[in-house]
Structure 1
Amino acid sequence: MLNGAEPVLLGKIVGVHGLKGQLKVACFSGEYDTVLALATVILEGSDKRRETFEVAGATIHRNRLLLTLKSFTDINQVQHLVGRLLYARRDQFPSLPEGEYYWCDLTGLQVVTGEGEVLGQLVEIIATGSNDVYVVRNEQREYLIPALDDVVVGIDLEAGIMTVSPPDGLFDL
């Protein structure tokens, strides 16, 4: 589980928009609401150096997120930012309704069955058309667990544990 100060990778600057210095952002999760709510962003270049910028505004235009940074008003001022990775501090994320979680909060949880069998650690989340799929690994095996209410029966972020109740046959080889 992350603390609030750790930067979370959200997307990548993929281009510029217009002449006034707006940046096109490809969000890795496909969700824009988090970026729309940010006061600052952290951009990481190919040299792994990170810079923090204040956000002047963000909007959605033709299924693409457009980001405007304070102090930049011209396309020539932001061109060098294209290709950088976009991060934000976790403590800036908007609150979610009960039972919803950010991927960054779930990744790293220990996954156990209701009977107490440790399956491994949640290492990746795959977005599909209908529901997410949790990739859980241990030293011997990888499990693909659908993120469904009747399969994922408990999440305890404080304890770092996700409890699952896999239907019969889900883990058969």
Structure 2
Amino acid sequence: MVLQPGALLILGVVVGTHGLRGDLKVRGCARDASLLSRIRQLVFLRDDQRVLECVRRKSDWHKGQLLVSLSGLDSIDAVQHLVGCEVAVHSEDVPAAPAGEYYWFQLKGLAARDRRLGDIGRLDDIFTTPAHEIYVIRGAYGEVLVPAVAAFLVEVDLEKRYVLFDLPEGLVEEE
């Protein structure tokens, strides 16, 4: 997926406050949630409506959640209304991914194809194990879990919106 200029990319949700100085606890909604700690301009949305747009002053990871403090909002009373809001960033603020790497928002929803089997479904989710990430593909073969390793990943074509895999025999149950 190529983001359109002016588009918003939702990366998290405010799940609470932390302390009395106006820090927000943000739970990432996507594998790309780390962008929230690198992009300064944040947009807070509730029911797809902008509640607030402001500059991130600082952020720190704490127990799997991002603690965010915002410029000009330095008390719990000033940020309480943001609890429950989605946190988004402007597409033009997202840095380019390093060569050969992709953000999850670019991969999610792409057609998944295998060299041998052809169309196997859509890239629907991703999760992390101690060894590597796992792509979750849902489609004609049910749910297929594919290790996100170079040995199985042949090609990503964002323009044509597909991912080509070379899956090992037995990973997909054929009828």
Indicate the TM-score class for this superposition, using the shorter chain for normalisation.
0.7 to 0.9
User: Scaled by the length of structure 1, what TM-score is found?
Assistant: 0.84
Q: Name the SS of the counterpart of 2:160 in structure 1.
A: coil
Q: Report what 1:152 is aligned to.
A: 153
Distance 2:74 2:44 in 1: 18
The question of whether the paired residues in 2 share the 8 Å contact of 1:12 and 1:83 is answered with yes
Give the partner amino acid of 1:70. S
User: Scaled by the length of structure 2, what TM-score is found?
Assistant: 0.83
Distance 1:162 1:140 in 2: 16
Q: Name the SS of the counterpart of 1:150 in structure 2.
A: coil
Q: Name the SS of the counterpart of 2:77 in structure 1.
A: helix
The alignment's C-alpha RMSD in Å is 2.4
Q: Percent identity?
A: 31
Sort the Cα spacing of 1:56 and 1:137 in 2 relative to 1 into closer, same or farther, 3 A: closer
Q: Report what 2:88 is aligned to.
A: 87
Show CA shifts across 1:85-112 (max 9, x none): 2222333223322222111000121111
Distance 1:165 1:172 in 2: 15
Which segments of 5 or more consecutive residues in structure 2 lack a partner in the other structure?
none
In the alignment of these two chains, the number of paired residues is 172
Q: Report what 1:114 is aligned to.
A: 115
- Do structure 1's residue 28 and structure 2's residue 29 form an aligned pair? yes
State how 1:16-165 maps to structure 2 within 5 Å: 16-29=17-30, 33-45=34-46, 47-63=47-63, 64-115=65-116, 117-138=118-139, 141-165=142-166
Q: Report what 1:10 is aligned to.
A: 11
Show CA shifts across 1:3-35 (max 9, x none): 243322211212222332221212234665411
Show CA shifts across 1:30-73 (max 9, x none): 6654112223222222x443334122323215344221223312
Which structure has greater strand proportion?
Answer: 2
Which segments of 5 or more consecutive residues in structure 1 lack a partner in the other structure?
none
The question of whether the paired residues in 2 share the 8 Å contact of 1:25 and 1:66 is answered with yes
Indicate the larger mover: 154-163 or 139-148.
139-148
Distance 1:158 1:30 in 2: 21
C-alpha deviation, 1:166, in angstroms: 0.2
